[in-house]
Structure 1
Amino acid sequence: MFGKTTHIIQKNTLTKDDLTYLISLKGDERDYFLKKIGENYVQTLGKKVFFRGLVEFSNYCTKDCLYCGIRKSNQSSDRYDIDDDEILKAAKFAYTNNYGSIVLQSGERNDPIFIKRITNLLKKIKDITDGKLGITISLGEQTEETYQAWFEAGAHRYLLRIETSNEELYYKIHPKDTNHNFQNRINCLKSLQKVGYQTGTGVMIGLPFQTYEELADDLLFFQDIDIDMIGMGPFIEHTETPLYQHKDKLWSLQRRFDVTINMIASLRLLMPDINIAAATALQAIDPMGREKALKYGANVIMPNITPTIHRKDYTLYENKPCTDEGAEDCSNCLNIRVEMADREVGYSEWGDSKHFFSRTSENNKAF
């Protein structure tokens, strides 16, 4: 009954046409595909899900991306910058609650004051957690020297989402200027790999003008650059952004959600040993969104431990869930969600990407 899908799942090499087909699946055949991927990936990676305590510590940004609620030109955004002591308290919370890892995320800045601040913070986090807390950072485009300094200070994973691997579409959702350069984004990903980070990227799914074929190209891009971890989610429009004028060109929210789950499952088939995050944006559409992502390919989830007073202001998109919960509330909720997805939390584990170790091992053999 589902011969074509079965054939694709069993293939050793997936083509663009294969991925386009899987990404666009609907109905019973989609259900069959997702079920098979859920079963297969547990056999490869097991049932463990890894926590990354997320601290969105500042929404000041030098970028003007056309889709983002914290873009520099959005005068309606309530700006904030959490002080270092609060960030360290959040790190300590993650450590004492056995999260294993923390994520530091903010708007993009690359001024010397910011760079020095992050370097010092990383060292302090390592110090107060006896070097046992894994650290992921998502702080945008920087020089290779800055990436090196932060790596030496204690960060070992870096997420830099490209948002789309299609250059033409990239410039439909970003200004075309020196501060928003497609090739520079790719070069930064290569620099991160060169420095030695477990390197992550990701895309938005369901953008205006986007096609299934372009999403298939995104997955092949991940494979081509040999990425270690992925954070991708549905595009959710923000009224205070230029891209909102194209809202009539969007798929329905439900379709954006369904295609995102298809993308996660398809990527798990394409790259079986990478880390894939269950994006919070999924829960903005479906109350069980993150659980579904965990069932069908994701193995990382990010409890938000940003101090509650500021959480509502990190609005990359609207209707963000869980903005009124404290860190402990979010932790308890996600524990339940992981169990509901028939998964288990890998407490106190960094949950590093298995792909990273195979990638770096192969690179070392080349020399």
Structure 2
Amino acid sequence: MSVCIKEIHYCLAPGELTNEELEQVFDAKQLRSITKMAGIRTRRVVNSGITASDMAVVAAKRLFAAGHTAASEIDLLVFATQTPDFQIPATACDVHGRLGLKQECGAFDINLGCSAFPYSLAVVSSMLEAGLAKTALLCNADAVSTVLNPKDRALTPLHGDGASVCVLTKVEGKDGGFDGFLMGTDGSNSQQIVMPASGARLPRSEATQVEHADESGSLRTQEQLCMNGPAVFHFSMDKIPSAIKSYLAEQQLTVGELDLVLLHQANKTMVDLIYRALEVPKEKRFYFMEDVGNLAGASTPVLLAEAWRSGRLQPGQRVLMASFGNGLSWGVTSLVWPGNLPPANDTSVEYDAALAEMSRD
């Protein structure tokens, strides 16, 4: 018996933030340098009032409508996000109600950012293997644009919003099962990506709403996301190639045995440097950030879904995924893509407000 992905789909935020629009906020020369480094020309961002859960619900509704998995089959719902609808209750519980899932279904959140996909896959797989559920719906969604200052030069030009949903179930044999998982954390650098006034440590007040400029000239309040870019870049280059090499050694695999290597779409320069450090051939690389941006916790699963949707990933191919980000944390997993997944290229990935609203009834 093994746990495998039965279906996967995604939804992008409805709005767009172009480089031309950003030139109205930032110095044009500096912006060109940032966007060239990032490999991003447009970001998909939510409009006012749209949340991470709205995008996930739209994607899940479309997945159920395809007819390969019924909502009544789901007996575990996990929602991984760093931009929840509420602090209380768990967003998973609200999504459970909006999707009309049965009461005999566990639902909980995982609070993690860009590294969330391997972590959440490991959690869901373990619960299915333990017999605690039979069919799980895993949602990875973030609306990071809602917690950014529009004048933050380090983050606003990079991030977009989106959601992925995938159904996982236990099947006979090893077809489609995960090879393994590797997870790591450097908690000594937990404050390198942080929203200072977002919990009990620093309660929100008038003082936390005051904008401050950092050394680079970026503006933000203590209630908005802050990133130490140089520290995060150093972490990514120091930890991620070695973590992937360790994972491959543990699984007795080589880069040559992989058909596709998917990396969290932080920015193209960083992704390319990691590819080079691992000596991944160009034909085994895949990108999906130029027209959507860095989708945070949704980045890697959306990348996987798009690889399948576009035909870049084929049944029987072994794909490795590595995600990394706030925490600071990282995760790696791989699997042979199953041969019985339904096609995904005939389903829209655009946000549907009517579908999101209907789900609240």
Taking structure 2 as the reference length, the TM-score comes to 0.32
Higher helix share: 1
Higher strand share: 2
Taking structure 1 as the reference length, the TM-score comes to 0.32
Higher relative contact order (CA closer than 8 Å, sequence separation 6+):
2
